[in-house]
Amino acid sequence: MQIEDVKLAVIGLGYVGLPLAVEFGKHRPVVGFDINDERVAELRRGSDRTLEVDDAELAQATGLSVTSDTSALASANVFIVTVPTPIDAYKQPDLTPLIRASETLGKVLKRGDIVIYESTVYPGATEEVCVPVLASVSGLRFNEEFFVGYSPERINPGDKKHRLTTIKKVTSGSTPEVADLVDTLYGQIITAGTHKAPSIRVAEAAKVIENTQRDVNIALINELALIFNRLGIDTQAVLEAAETKWNFLSFRPGLVGGHCIGVDPYYLTHKAQAIGYHPEIILAGRRLNDSMGAYVASQLVKAMTQRCIQVQGARILVMGLTFKENCPDLRNTRVVDIIQELGEYSVRVDVYDPWVDPESAKNEYGIELVTDLSEGDYDGIVLAVGHRQFAEMGLDAIRALGRPQHVLYDLKYLFDANDVDLRL
């Protein structure tokens, strides 16, 4: 296949797939496929609820047509799969969306077609899990009648500086010729350039260690914060001092959620354990980061007790529910850990987040968001997410939400240490 022969389809139009389909749609015809009829209808109306693509940019993708009809995929010969790869309740990889997408493509796969996967997986998953499904359903022979590629996504939700086109793209293919084609295809839209990995397994491994490295680094800073809190030292002040050294890596303590950093390490540890190796550092980092929500809740309760604030029956306001600031993404948010832990103390928790659709919060986590804040109502306030609206409210307005005697816990360092009661 030559690059001019490519007829493209993108499978999955979420945080990863939509920006990709839109960017390609500015340059060539693209079929954007999603199984969610409501999502397709929304995009056809020219709006993206994830806010990753604004209405004007969506309108510029004149080559993009979106559909939930699998028959529309038959016209394509290159398919890019961008479905989620979550973990289950036991923190094991859940490849169900990936397998189902592969089954769907297997039904329309033709001789010479290429399937490119972007979903985060463990090294080997593309060829060990996806390829057998494609081959079984299609009846075609791998690397003779159909081919695959892997180009890991690097989308950072809510980041308006580091966008799809400005982040270097890792590419790979199941044969040298396919690797060249995949690299050339992405090179048409990625202004930052591409890096062609020597194999699919290398590209898979590169992706999964990117977020594993961040997870371990944040775990270290979280542990340091626990130590400094016991020593009565402000963690932020320590980090600012340490950052004066040129090679000190800048990280901040906090909750580690989202669909990447809080999930991807479990894909790597799953594969490591499957081959008989028990990863010590990675799992230790995961355990520590997963414990931070409970730690925050316990610190808040301790501070309230020290101020003689009745804990049982108290009212707590948690400001922010998304996994990060200035985006509506609720996937794997660890703010829920704080909420659930506070519930164990028989307190009433109100959650406020101007970025979140109330229906989504209820469907995902059973949380009823409050939409109006009343002054003087709360015994404790937790600034859990650093949304710009909270910074713009200012310290006085946030303090006014609390009763005369209350505790303000600033997880995101929005305000000066001397003006809040608790920080990590």
SS3 231: helix
Strands 315-319 and 194-196: unpaired
Rounded distance between C-alpha atoms, residue 378 and residue 309, angstroms? 11
For residue 257, give Cα distances in angstroms to 26, 91, 254. 33, 13, 10
DSSP-assigned letter for residue 415: S
Q: What is the pLDDT of residue 248?
A: 95
Residues 114/178, Cβ–Cβ less than 8 Å: yes
Helix and strand numbers, DSSP H then E, in the chain: 15, 13
Q: How many CB atoms lie within 10 A of CB 242?
A: 12
Q: How many CB atoms lie within 10 A of CB 177?
A: 11
Rounded distance between C-alpha atoms, residue 409 and residue 387, angstroms? 15
Strands 194-196 and 422-423: unpaired
SS3 244: coil
The phi, psi pair for 195, rounded to 5°, reads -130, 115
**Any idea which residue has 């493509």 for tokens?**
105
For residue 239, give Cα distances in angstroms to 37, 86, 99, 253, 338. 47, 32, 44, 10, 24
Query: Which tokens hold the place of 346?
Result: 């028989």
Rounded distance between C-alpha atoms, residue 356 and residue 241, angstroms? 36
Class of residue 83 by CB neighbours under 10 A (exposed 0-12, middle 13-18, buried 19+): buried
The reply to whether 327 belongs to the active site is no
Rounded distance between C-alpha atoms, residue 267 and residue 264, angstroms? 5
Q: What is the pLDDT of residue 48?
A: 93
SS3 37: helix
Q: CA triplet 190, 322, 121: central angle to 5 degrees?
A: 50
Confidence (pTM): 0.92
pLDDT tens, per residue, the chain with 424 residues: 889 999 999 999 999 999 999 999 999 999 999 999 999 999 999 999 998 999 999 999 999 999 999 999 999 999 999 999 999 989 999 999 999 999 999 999 999 999 999 999 999 999 999 999 999 999 999 999 999 999 999 988 887 888 899 999 999 999 999 999 999 999 999 999 999 999 999 999 999 999 999 999 999 999 999 999 999 999 999 999 999 999 999 999 999 988 888 899 999 999 999 999 999 999 999 999 999 999 999 999 999 999 999 999 999 999 999 999 999 999 999 999 999 999 999 999 999 999 999 999 999 999 999 998 888 889 999 999 999 999 999 999 999 999 999 999 999 999 999 999 999 8
Q: How many CB atoms lie within 10 A of CB 148?
A: 26
Class of residue 125 by CB neighbours under 10 A (exposed 0-12, middle 13-18, buried 19+): buried
Rounded distance between C-alpha atoms, residue 79 and residue 421, angstroms? 53
Can you say whether the dihedral through the CA atoms of 43, 49, 55, 60 is positive or negative?
A: negative
Residues 98/118, Cβ–Cβ less than 8 Å: no
Q: What is the pLDDT of residue 271?
A: 96
Query: Which tokens hold the place of 217?
Result: 């680094």
Single-letter residue type at 64: L
